[in-house]
Structures are given as structure tokens and as C-alpha cells.
């Protein structure tokens, strides 16, 4: 092999499978056929089980709604019991610890 290689890897490079240093010949990326086959098997191995996802949680109980007519806020109720109108969603939130009124989180973070 010449003193100045045609690649930027240097004179020797590590095998991506076993980590052993070897002198690349041509376009070789692995130190041996054994490591080349092992890399091929890893790439084409079927996924044994699908990744588990967390269970979905309903958003309605933690959503703040506001009546378009009387402007009263409700936590988890989509319909105003006084006006009998559907409320508009303001966002995810909860009850204020000081006044017990429903407050959306985005209203607290934008101020």
C-alpha cells in the first residue's frame, strides 16, 4: 500500500463490527468476510416485537372550555349548563390553587 492513501481514513481503519484495525483494500469496509456477513445479518434482521407505546389518556377531563355566550369557564365540560351551548376549547389546564377557577397552562406561560 502507498504511503499516501486515496481515502481520508489513514493507513488503517477500525472494522465497524469488531473494532479491529485493518488495512483497507479497495472499497473494503470490514476486516473479513465474517464481519461483513455479521453486519449484513444485523441490517436485515427482522424486528422481533413492535415498540410499545404508552397508553393514551383522554384530554377532555384536563381541557379548559369557555362558553361563547356567558364566558364562564369549565374544566372538562364541553357544554354550558346555563346557556345549553357548546363551549370553545381554550387549552389544557386545571383549577387555579388560589381561586379555584379553571385556567389554561398557555395563559400562565405567555404572561
Question: What pTM value is reported for the model?
Answer: 0.50
On whether residue 6 sits in a domain, the answer given is: no
- The predicted structure's pLDDT at residue 3: 55
- The predicted structure's pLDDT at residue 6: 56
With residues binned 3-state (H G I as helix, E B as strand, rest as coil), the percentages for the chain, rounded to 5, are 15, 20, 60
Same domain, 66 and 39: no
CA atoms within 13 A on the CB side of 31: 11
H/E segment holding residue 65: strand 63-66
For 16-75, the pLDDT digits (tens) are 999 899 888 888 889 999 999 999 999 998 877 777 888 888 889 999 999 999 999 999
Same domain, 64 and 94: yes
Nearest alpha-carbon partner for 73 in 55, 56, 96, 97:
96
- The predicted structure's pLDDT at residue 38: 94
Domain around 71: 60-109
On whether residue 7 sits in a domain, the answer given is: no
Q: What is the DSSP letter of 91?
A: E
User: Cα separation of 91 and 109, whole Å?
Assistant: 12
Same domain, 66 and 37: no
Same domain, 67 and 105: yes
Lookup: cell for 38: 455479521
Q: Is the pLDDT of residue 8 over 60?
A: no
| Domains identified in the chain, total number | 2
Q: Is the pLDDT of residue 85 over 90?
A: yes
Amino acid at each position: 500500500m502507498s504511503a499516501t492513501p486515496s481515502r481520508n481514513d489513514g493507513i488503517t481503519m477500525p472494522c465497524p463490527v469488531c473494532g479491529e484495525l485493518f488495512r483497507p483494500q479497495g472499497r473494503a469496509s470490514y476486516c473479513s468476510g465474517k464481519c461483513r456477513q455479521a453486519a449484513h445479518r444485523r441490517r436485515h434482521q427482522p424486528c422481533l416485537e413492535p415498540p410499545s407505546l404508552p397508553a393514551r389518556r383522554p384530554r377532555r377531563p384536563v381541557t379548559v372550555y369557555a362558553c361563547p355566550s356567558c364566558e364562564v369557564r369549565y374544566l372538562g365540560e364541553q357544554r354550558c349548563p346555563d346557556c345549553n351551548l357548546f363551549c370553545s376549547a381554550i387549552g389544557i389546564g386545571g383549577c387555579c390553587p388560589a381561586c379555584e377557577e379553571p385556567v389554561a397552562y398557555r395563559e400562565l406561560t405567555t404572561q
